[in-house]
Structure 1
Amino acid sequence: MSSATLSKRTNEATPPVILEVAKAISAHLDLSDVLGALITTLKPVARFDAIGIGVLDGDHVKLQSLHIEGMPRRAGESVQSILARRASDLNIEPSKTRKPVSQHHISAIITSRQPYVCRDVESQRRFACDEDLLRYGIKSYIGLPLMKHGKLIGIVEFLSKEKRNYTDDEVQLLQDVSELVSIAVANALAYEEINALKEQLQIENRLLQDEIVQRSIYEEIIGSSTSLQRVLAAIDKVAQTDSTVLVTGETGTGKELVAHAIHRRSPRSGRALVKVNCAALPSELIASELFGHEKGAFTGALQQRIGRFEAANGGTIFLDEIGELPPELQIAFLRVLQEKEFERVGGNRTIQTDVRVIAATNRDLEREVADGRFRMDLYYRLNVFPIHVPALRDRSDDIPILVDYFAARLSSRMGKRIRQIEKRTLDAMQQYSWPGNIRELQNVIERGVILTEGEVFRLDPDTLSRGSEKTAPRRPESGSSGDEQKAEIEAVLRETRGRISGPEGAAARLGVPASTLESRIRALKINKHQFR
């Protein structure tokens, strides 16, 4: 068919085609659906093999959506996945979805605000992105500006596998179409932004509720011992800065309370304190939890999701059990600390973050570094301002104050009135070693308040009979061999009859979080059920 004949058909078909395009666009919210409908609607007057939408992102242009004719679509599939599948079919390396403006033909549109027509990519090769198009078999294309309120927001590209002598009438038709596409793109971007803001608000609301629950019992750090006063003085000094803090101490000593206290006294207190327990997350999900993921990044990723670092932007992130972070993620986390930037899983757009980091561990990280299980450079980045929280047995002078505090708070919640603590009970509590530290103390007092009938708080003599000698909790040495660790854990499981959690559980006796012990049990292939 001659160019003149095609031009005539284009002129005759323009009004009905524009109407059909408008209908197709209005019928879909998802951009990929819009592009699929668009390529079908244009077939009678202009055939193309693919349509892409590029959106300006600073000094880069990002491929936002793509439809390739004849290529089956998958629900929720990302642009990266589509390009990767097509590249696999062609046995080539997939191209990046984000390119500098200077390497893309959108730079010509920025200058002229006019369509950019490439009738023969091979001979015209003006931009670096043309090389990528040739690798994918594209021989010609038309790029048209996408405008919003007179401002360029991106580009719509009509791509063909054949060299084409595009006429002025065809270009004009596509320019009319691009004005409608601009509206769809602007709506889609606004919809994505609203969803992202909505998700961030939901996350911050959930985190705030979690913080309120945490503070319902532990509103302040209680005690007057010299060792605790040193901790409080350190909190006051570091709170007003943005320095990274590493909180160390046995499980149950109140490391999270220290993180809350630092955040509440900091200039960031108006934003969220986001908590991540590195030991509680499966290793395959930690990256997605910390950094978020793009739609289609992996099976089940049906929509974009922001991670904890994005949720904490402007606030504080508390990384509990940082010693459990897998080696492959230690590198990514080091980059966040150094550069204050990261990419979502499955994405290649660099996201800047303004977040204060507080990390906590009950491990000896220096020992972990020496044994090659923790990166030395990450350790020094975290250990800017260390705070060590003493074990409860090392500040037994605080026990009477803590007992009074928890007994009063818990009895009030339960509608009881406790006026006095039995001396025998208090003496026993000061002699007990408290392997589970503050957490165990609170649990014991709560149980005692429940059982108390009158106004005097007392515990059954057998409650603290076991472990009453002041000895430190046993813990499997991180540097010991696997056989030695296995033997020690099995010995403690035998004593606790397979019980992991709770004040009398194996985790408390070993001085590690229950989640950490469970992880070691799986790694050492221990059958905990045989001890029950």
Structure 2
Amino acid sequence: MSKKILIVEDEFIVANDLSMMLEKAGYDVCDIADSVEEAREIIARQKPQLVLLDIHLKGKLTGIDLAKQLAEEQIAFVYLSANSNQKILEEAKATQPYGFMVKPFREKDVLVSLEIAQYLHEQNMLIKRNNEQMLQSALIDILSEETEWSQKFLKIAKTIQPYAPFDYLAVGMKNLDSLPYDGISFLRTSFNDYQVIGFDELMNISGLKKAELLKLQEPSTDDTFSAVYNENDFTDRCKYNAAKRFVARTFHMRSNLVMYVPVTGRPGFTFSFYSRKDDIYANRHLALINKLQKPLSMAIDGLFVSHKNVKPAYQVVKPNAAPQQKLRTGFDGIIGSSHLLLTALDHLTLVAPMETSVLILGESGTGKERFAKSIHSRSSRSKKQIIVVNCAALPTHLIESELFGHEKGAFTGAVEKRAGKFEQAAGGTIFLDEIGELPLEAQSKLLRVLQEKEIERLGGKETIRVDVRIIAATNCNLEKEVAAGKFRLDLYYRLNIFPIVLPALRERKEDIPELVGHFVAKYAERAGKAGMSISQQALSDLTHYHWPGNVRELEHLIERNVLLNRGNVIERISLPSSKPETDIAVTDTKVKTIDDNEREYILAVLKKCNGRISGPGGAAELLDVPSTTLNSKMKRLGITRKHVGG
């Protein structure tokens, strides 16, 4: 049975050409619409399975407005527009399309894009259904276990975390007297570690008296329905809801997802998820918890009867107890427990078992390669190798040969046939680092590989099928690159199926003590100086530094100081800048962007090195980054040798 497709495009010639192209290929084009209003009528009547959607249409509403409806109704869609406005691109990206076709269309590209969109949509729906069923089953099994309620809810918290991410979860904090357990909550402290907080512990943490805390727990209308509160909605809700205001202030939360679970004959209770991010919850989270509501309610009904009048004791972590040593994340070389890092690790855990492409975004030195290798090691391809390619380091004239291979005699110097990186990664993963540095011609060829899963060696005529998972990474803003015409829009959307954003070290400074401890121990052992430590003053200096080179810079700095230190304690550390971050004053009326500050910083270092980039005493060495990375940063920031007198 052919797929039913709706074309939403206000240029008649473009729409008509597309329609004929699709019908020739066996698709059922149910209709053509030139406005959102007309498209909505057709969707209600025809129920298409896929929509080709232009962004700019007749009328006040845009294709992005329609895309939000399509996403909620789980109808696959692909954008048609070649609009390069960055704001529009960001809005379009947020709707999570299954592709982006750039006008004018090549017939083969259109058909391949549709096949990919259908495949991704079917896989996403299958994964979603399977995940929902497994999650329901897992939660009901946990509730049925013969164990304390605190342990049941802790297991539920860990199980639901990848699907409804949270930094703080309050369970049963309302209507306490109607249920066979006391209120309990969980504060996430590391990747798989949570502090369990009962009523007494909450009193100690907040400093409130029992009567004051009980007053906060009085039932309200907010506890009788599921809802999402992000950004301003959460701030407004906190004005009227004392319990939410209390959590926001005590634990610094900025958004909230509420799951109401009714209990037969009783007021019911809530799972209230909170996050430090202000925009993390969406309609998909609300749809998921609404599906979980009924099975959980039925399970609780049965357990309420069987556990009537049972008041279990709790094992909780006392807030005034000796602090526990932080646990590592369990990911090779990835250390820390800040909420931004944990969010990235949650995403890694979700996407690793899938076959989908991944785009890792983050500044240089944030650990993008480590994340890529962790994704590979947790995938079904882990027994095969991961091939790492630094796109910024590839000579322009050799890019095609390096990636796709070449035949003997394909160019001067090609004395033998050679397999490229894609062939070497067969059955495994290829990691394309600094993907934003690929020239446009190479981007076009990479797009074909992504779409058609086949390559041609340079100078060859044979088509070679490749079975490779692609993980890409970049330290630049690809939306800006697209808007500037430096990166292909369709390639961006093809890579951006599952983005993972890595935080800069300055955004997760609470992880610095743990990282420093790890690096000191690691390099002290290598140098035969086991037992070396670092002073509180040195640690304080490190915490207040702004870290333009991120974790890589921190690691290299600690390594040097371990090697140079004569005693068993590193008392002071000489930092590249004499002023810590807190001393940096903004003298201009206009606040500088991160790119502006980074450009000035690199220029200052280059001048100090007399324009020398690589080698001993060069800027790359001082900045603790590879010279290829520094060159790529300079190119992106528009820094040339004339700026430093080189």
TM-score range, shorter chain: 0.5 to 0.7
- Is residue 358–residue 472 contact of structure 2 (8 Å, CA) maintained in 1? yes
Match of 1:166 in 2: none
Distance 2:623 2:450 in 1: 31
Distance 2:577 2:505 in 1: 17
- Is residue 360–residue 474 contact of structure 2 (8 Å, CA) maintained in 1? yes
Q: Which amino acid aligns with 1:230?
A: T
Distance 2:560 2:427 in 1: 40
Distance 2:499 2:565 in 1: 41
Pairing partner for 2:336 from 223, 237, 252 = 223
Correspondence 1:292 to 2:412: no
Q: Which amino acid aligns with 1:469?
A: E
Match of 2:595 in 1: 475
C-alpha deviations, 1:376-425, integer Å up to 9, x for none? 00000000100011000100000000011011111111111234320000
Unaligned runs of 5+ in 1: 1-217, 479-484
Q: CA deviation at 1:468?
A: 1.8
Q: Which moved more, 1:433-442 or 1:516-525?
A: 516-525
- Is residue 545–residue 581 contact of structure 2 (8 Å, CA) maintained in 1? yes
C-alpha deviations, 1:463-506, integer Å up to 9, x for none? 3553521579953699xxxxxx8x99756632553243699975
Alignment of 1:88-99 (within 5 A): none
Match of 1:364 in 2: 477
Correspondence 1:463 to 2:580: no
Equivalenced residues, count: 307
Distance 1:473 1:355 in 2: 38
Correspondence 1:445 to 2:565: no
Match of 1:382 in 2: 495
Pairing partner for 1:392 from 502, 505, 510 = 505
Match of 2:147 in 1: none
C-alpha deviations, 1:248-270, integer Å up to 9, x for none? 11111111110011011111110
- Is residue 474–residue 510 contact of structure 1 (8 Å, CA) maintained in 2? no
Distance 2:644 2:391 in 1: 28
Match of 2:641 in 1: 527
- Is residue 393–residue 437 contact of structure 1 (8 Å, CA) maintained in 2? yes
Unaligned runs of 5+ in 2: 1-330, 585-591
Distance 1:257 1:520 in 2: 20
Q: CA deviation at 1:277?
A: 0.5
Pairing partner for 1:240 from 340, 345, 353 = 353
Alignment of 1:67-216 (within 5 A): none
Q: CA deviation at 1:370?
A: 1.0
Q: 1:492 to 1:464 in 2, by over 3 A?
A: closer
Pairing partner for 1:333 from 443, 446, 463 = 446
Q: 1:457 to 1:509 in 2, by over 3 A?
A: closer
Match of 1:404 in 2: 517
Match of 1:416 in 2: 529
Pairing partner for 2:421 from 308, 322, 343 = 308
Q: 1:371 to 1:220 in 2, by over 3 A?
A: same
Match of 1:319 in 2: 432
C-alpha deviations, 1:108-131, integer Å up to 9, x for none? xxxxxxxxxxxxxxxxxxxxxxxx
Pairing partner for 2:543 from 425, 430, 452 = 430
SS of 1:387's equivalent?
Answer: strand
Larger radius of gyration: 1
Distance 1:466 1:477 in 2: 16
Match of 1:277 in 2: 390
Q: RMSD across aligned C-alpha pairs, in angstroms?
A: 3.2
Q: CA deviation at 1:514?
A: 3.6
C-alpha deviations, 1:61-120, integer Å up to 9, x for none? xxxxxxxxxxxxxxxxxxxxxxxxxxxxxxxxxxxxxxxxxxxxxxxxxxxxxxxxxxxx
Q: 1:522 to 1:394 in 2, by over 3 A?
A: closer
- Is residue 603–residue 643 contact of structure 2 (8 Å, CA) maintained in 1? no
Q: 1:387 to 1:530 in 2, by over 3 A?
A: closer
SS of 2:508's equivalent?
Answer: helix
Q: Which amino acid aligns with 2:448?
A: R
Match of 1:192 in 2: none
Q: CA deviation at 1:371?
A: 1.1
Distance 1:488 1:455 in 2: 33
- Is residue 429–residue 471 contact of structure 2 (8 Å, CA) maintained in 1? yes
- Is residue 620–residue 626 contact of structure 2 (8 Å, CA) maintained in 1? yes
Distance 2:518 2:361 in 1: 24
State the TM-score, normalizing by the size of structure 2. 0.44
SS of 1:450's equivalent?
Answer: helix
- Percent identical pairs in the alignment equals 53
Distance 1:465 1:491 in 2: 10
Distance 2:472 2:615 in 1: 24
C-alpha deviations, 1:196-228, integer Å up to 9, x for none? xxxxxxxxxxxxxxxxxxxxxx94200011111
Q: 1:430 to 1:488 in 2, by over 3 A?
A: closer
Q: Which amino acid aligns with 1:411?
A: A
Distance 1:525 1:428 in 2: 30
SS of 1:275's equivalent?
Answer: strand
Match of 2:168 in 1: none
- Is residue 476–residue 510 contact of structure 1 (8 Å, CA) maintained in 2? no
- Is residue 432–residue 464 contact of structure 1 (8 Å, CA) maintained in 2? no
Q: Which amino acid aligns with 2:580?
A: S
Q: Which amino acid aligns with 1:280?
A: A
Q: Which moved more, 1:492-501 or 1:275-284?
A: 492-501
Q: CA deviation at 1:427?
A: 0.3
